[in-house]
Amino acid sequence: MDDLRAAVQVIFRDVFDDPEIALQENTTAGDIEGWDSLMHINLIVAIEKQFRVKFATAEISGLKSEGQNVGSLLQLLASKLAPPPRPVK
């Protein structure tokens, strides 16, 4: 998870143009200056491109809603990146 957080942190720094951003699991949208609905889209687009994943409509809105934080983003991303479970023999 730390590797993933580091990779996502690079994207955050690029998108928000702020090399000082340090992501913690409990970082929320309110903690990062300029994380408005426009920047949220920029962030989603950059993450989708980098990791070749796709967020569902509800997930895009969900990630910025009350009670969500960077931890929830990382978990969601990890679940999309995880290899599919092997079929039971």
In the complex, the residues that contact another protein under the rule CB under 8 A are 14-15, 17, 37-38, 41-42, 45-46, 49, 56-57, 60-61
Cβ 4 to another protein shortest distance, Å: 19
Which residue, 42, 35, 49, 37, is CA-closest to 7? 49
Q: Which is nearer to another protein, 1 or 53 (CB)?
A: 53
Cβ 85 to another protein shortest distance, Å: 26
* Identity of the residue numbered 53: V
Q: Which is nearer to another protein, 24 or 50 (CB)?
A: 50
What is each CA distance from 49 to 4, 20, 31, 53, 85, in whole angstroms?
Answer: 15, 23, 24, 7, 24
